[in-house]
Structure 1
Amino acid sequence: MKAFMKTVVLLVVFACTWGSVAQTHPDHNYWQLSPRVGYDFPTYDNDTPFIDYQGGIELGLSVDYYWRWFGIGLDLDYIKNSPESTFPIDNLIDISGTTLTDFSLREEGITRLFYGIGPNFQYVSPSNKFKAELNLRGGLASIKGGLTELRENTVINDRLNFHAGYDEGSVLTGKAQLRFTYFFNQTFGIHAGAYYMRHFGVQESLDGGVAARYYDATISEQGSSLTGDIYTRAEACEHDISSVGVYAGVTIKLKSKHDNKCCTTCEKYSLAVTARDKFSRQVLPDTDVALRDTAGNIVQTGTTNTFGIVVFNDIAKDDYVIDGQLYEVGLTTNNAGASEFKEGQTLQKEILYEDENFILQGKAVICNTATGLPGVDVIIKNLTAAEQKSTITDENGTYILHIGQRGSYELRGKKDKYFSQTVTINPAEYDRSTTLFVKLEICLEEAECGKAITLNNILYDLDKYDIRPDARPELNRLAQFMKDNPGIRVEVSSHTDSRASDSYNQTLSQNRANAAVDYVVSQGVSRSKITGKGYGESRLLNECADGVSCSETKHQINRRTEMKVICN
C-alpha cells in the first residue's frame, strides 16, 4: 500500500514538472497520467452462503499514450475489500436445544493489486475541453487475504462458518473502463468514470486441509437453530471474482517533445479569424473557433471577442482548417494555407454563419425589475406547426433559442409558484437580411400566498359579463399557470367602479368572476382548484367613490380582474 502511494506521488510530481515545459497544445501524440480514487463493489462466487463481501476503497493510476483517437495504456489498481460473516447467531440454538452464546469472529481484509495493459479509444469534443475514453486492459492480479472464521467456543467448540480466503500471486484478469474528462486548459483536467473487472480462475487457500466449512441453520421469528448438517469442502476450488467500481481523479496531459510543431528557433505566425453572419454581415461575439491541422487534430481553440474576432498566435507556417460554432450551430469551414502566412503580418480569415433562422436572445426577469431569474424553463411554441421546444435560463436569467422566419410563436416561462407573462412573436416583423438576433424579455411575478395579481385586458362589454375574445389570452395564461402548479388553489376576483348602485355592481362583478372561472375550467383546470368572487365597488384602488367626480381613466383603474393564490 505504501509503495503504491509513493509510486503515484512520484509520477504526479514528474508529470507536473514536465507539463510546465511541454508544448501548450497537446492534441495528438501525447502522454496522459490519470491518478484516481474510487469505491469498488465486489462479487465473490465461492459457494459460501453465510459470507458477504463488502465494498472498499480503490486507488488507481492510468498511464496512456495517444496518437489520435487510438492509444495504448497501462493501469495500476489497488483495491481493498472485506468479508462479512452473516451467520445467524442471534438466539442461536444447537440440535440439543442449548442456546449458544460464546462466539469469536475473525475477518481478514482482501487486497487486490492489478497490473494491466491494453488499447484506448477516445472521442474529443470540438472545443478540446471534453473527452470520453474507453480503456480495455488485460493483465495479472495479486489477491491476498479474506479468511473468515466464526467459532462457537463452549458447547460445539467448532467453526460454524469458515472460508480460508486467497493467496494468489498471478491471476489472469481483464478490465473495461469508461472515463470522462473535462480539461481546464491544455494540460490539467478532472475526470470521473466507472469500470468492470474480472479475475479468472482464482484458487482458494486451504487452512488445516479445509477451504470452506459451515453449519446449516434455519431462521425463524424467534431466532435460529442448527439443523445438524455440516458442509465441509476440503478441495481448494477455482472460481471467478468480479467487481464494478466508480472513481474520480485528475488528468495531466503531456505533449511528446519530439512532436512539437514549433521551437525557439523556428518562425511563428499569427492568424485572426472573424465570425460573421452571412446575411446581415453582423460580427458574432462568443463564437467558439477551432484551428485544426490537415489530419483533423485541434491545434488551438478560442472564442471570439465583442468584435467577433479571435487571434491564434505562435503557430507554425502550415495548412489549417478553421471551424466555428455559435450556440450549437456550425459555421462554414474556411482554410488557411501555408503559403498565405507572411512574416510580421497577421493572416486574416473569415467564417460565416449561414443558418437562416433567427437567434432569440432573451432574459427572464422578475416583473417590474431588471433582476434576472435563473432556473426558468422557457418554452416556445410554434403556433403554426404545433411544435414546441424549451431551454433553461442561466444564473443571470438569460436564454438562447432559435426560431424560423415563418410562422407565429408563443413564448412563456415556467417556474414553481411564478406567474409568467406570455409573449407572441411574429418573425415576419423582422428582416433576416439586416438582423440575426431578436432581443426579447419576459417577466414572471411570484404568486405569493394571498397576493393579488392583476389580469390585464380582461374587458367586458357594458353591463355584460360574457368573456370577450380579447380576454381569452390572459385567462389562458392563468389556466397554464394552474396546470404548471397543480398543487395550488386560486381565487379569481372581479371589481367594478363606483358608478351604478352597490347591489347592481355586486351582482355584475360576481357574474363576471363566475364567467372567468367557467372559462378557465373549460381549459382543463379542475373546478375544485379555482373559485370566483365578485367584490363590486367595495375595493376601490383610488378616491373615486360615490359622489366623487373622476375621469374615465381613473374609473378604469378600479374596473379590474385579479387572481391570487388561496392560503391554506
Structure 2
Amino acid sequence: MLFGITLFAFAQEGQKGDLQIGVQGGASLPIRNYKTLGEAKTGFYSGLFIDKYFNGNRFGLGVDARYIRNDLSKMDSFHFENGHISTLYKNSSRFQDYLFTIGPSYRFARDRFHIEAYVRGGIMMQYFPAYERTLTYSDTRGTYDYIIKATENDVTNKANSWAGLGGLRFNYKLNTNLALFAHMDYVQSFGTKFGNEPSRFVVKESVPTTNPIATSTTIKGYLDHYEEVPAVKNTLHQTVHAGVGIKYIFSRSKPENVALIAPGNDRYDEVVKAKVEAKDIQIMVRDKQTDLALSGVIVSIEGLNTDEKSTTDANGLASKLVGVKSGVYRIVGEKNGVKTPLLTLTDADFGTNSNVIFKEIFHDDPRFTLIGETFDCTLERNLSHINTVLTNSGTRMNSSQISDAEGKFIYQLDAHSDFTVMANQKGQYSQTEIVTTKGLDRGQTLYVTLKLGVCELEKDGTWILKNILYDFDKSNIRSDAALVLDNVVAVMKQNPSLRIELSSHTDSRGDGNYNLKLSQRRADAAVAYLTNNGIDKSRLIAKGYGESRLINACGNGVDCSEEQHQENRRTEIKVLDYVK
C-alpha cells in the first residue's frame, strides 16, 4: 500500500515539487552484536533511490533499494597441545541482504548546497552464512569432536524481516538538474519473526568457562573448558552506511497553458493561460533584539533569472524588485558578517491579490553597534579618512577602521565589555575615549554613539590626557592608564620629530611638598612606561607640578566638590618641539 501511495504521488503531473533519482554506494560497517556474534566484517552496499518533494520542496516521500554485503571474519584453525579448533563453512561465507524501504524526507537548501534528512521503513531479504566450529582433541582413549559454535537457521539460510533506516544526505548541485552527494545512515532489521518464520541470524554456541584454551593447553575433558549446556543466541542486522553518489533532479511545475474545446464547435477555442501575474518584491530588515528597522544590511535575492543585491536604507528597506515572475526565490540578508535566516518565496506567495509581496526578515547579532564620528577639535566639523583604533580593555584585542567621507566609522561591540577608541593619524592626536556596554540591555539598545575629537600637533600646544587615573597615594601605572599611554606611544612613533613634556598635577588637599613629590613620581612612571615601549628618553621630560598649577579656584581652604578637585588631578602633555 505504501509503495502504491508513492507511485501515485509521483504520477501527479500538477503536483509541484522536485522529483529526484539517484544512485549510491559505499562502505557497510557492522556494529554491536552483528559484528561480534555475527562475526561480520566491513563490507559494501550499492543501490538507488527516488524522492518526490511536494509544494515548497521541503517535505517529500521517497523509496530506497539497496544490495548489502558483509563477509564473515573467517577464523583460522587454532592448534593446542593435543588438538585444534577448526571451522567448516558450508556455503558462501558472507551476509547478503536486499533492502526495500519507503518513508518521508526533509530538505533544507542554501544556494548550491542542501541537506536532506530521511527515515525509511520496509522489508529486508536476508541470506545468511552457514558454518560449524569444531573442537577436536585426542588422548589415550581416542579422538573426540565437539561442535562449539554452529549456525541454526533453516537449510535455505534465507529469512525476511522488517527493517528501517535513517540518515543525512549532503548535496552539492553542479547545475539545475545534477548534484553530487555524500551521506551516512543507520540500517537495522526488526522483530524475531516475519510471516511466522524466524527473521534473525541464530547460532548455538558453547559458553567458555574461566579456564580458556591456550596453545600450551592439553585438554583432558570438554567440560573443563566449556559449559555443559550451549546457549542459543541471535542478532539483528545492524550496520552504518557511509557513501557517495550522484542524482538527477526533475523540476516539477504546473502547466501554464490549457486548451479548451467547446462542444459542438468545429474549431478550438482560444487558449486560456492559467498564470499568476508578475508582482513586486519588497524586503524589510529588522533587528531581532529590538525590533528596530535596520539599515546597512546587504539583501540578496536569487531565483528565476534573478540575482540582485541591495543595501537597506534608514527605514530598513531594500531596493524593490519590480515585475518579478512567479517562481522560487531565496532571500538572505547580511551585515557585519552575520546572516539572516533564509527566506524562500514560492508560487504560493504570488497567488495573493496584492501587487506587492512584502516580507520582513530579522537580523540577529547580539553585539552592540558603535557609530562614531571624527571631527576637528578646533573647527568642530567632521573630518574624513581618519584612522581609528578600537581596543577591548579586557582582551587587549585591537581593530582599526578609517572614517568615511562623512567622518563616520562603525564598530561591533561585545556585551558586558569596556573599550577604548582613539585616532591614529600622523600629525594629529586625539583623546583616548572610553566606551562601555556594561549595564546595557541589548533588547533595548542597538546603537552606541561617540564623537572623537582630532587635533593638530603644533609646537607649544598642550592637552590633558583624559581617563588616566592612579590609585590613591600611588604612582604605579594601572592597566586602564596603560591603554591611554599606548595612545601616546602611537603618536610619538608616527611623529619622530615630536618632543614632549609629560606633567602630573594634584589637587590642593594635603601637604604641598608631599603633593609635589607624588606628582613627580607619577610623571616619572608615565615616562618610564613610554621608554619601555620604544620611545627614546631624549624625547621626553617628566615634570611633577603638585598643586602649583590649579585650573580652577579650589585652592587651600576653599570648599569644593569632588568633581572640582578631580579637574586638578590631571596628566598633561606639552609639545616642546615638532616639525611637520
- Specify if TM > 0.5: no
TM-score normalised to the size of structure 2?
0.44
TM-score normalised to the size of structure 1?
0.44
- Rg larger in 1 or in 2? 2
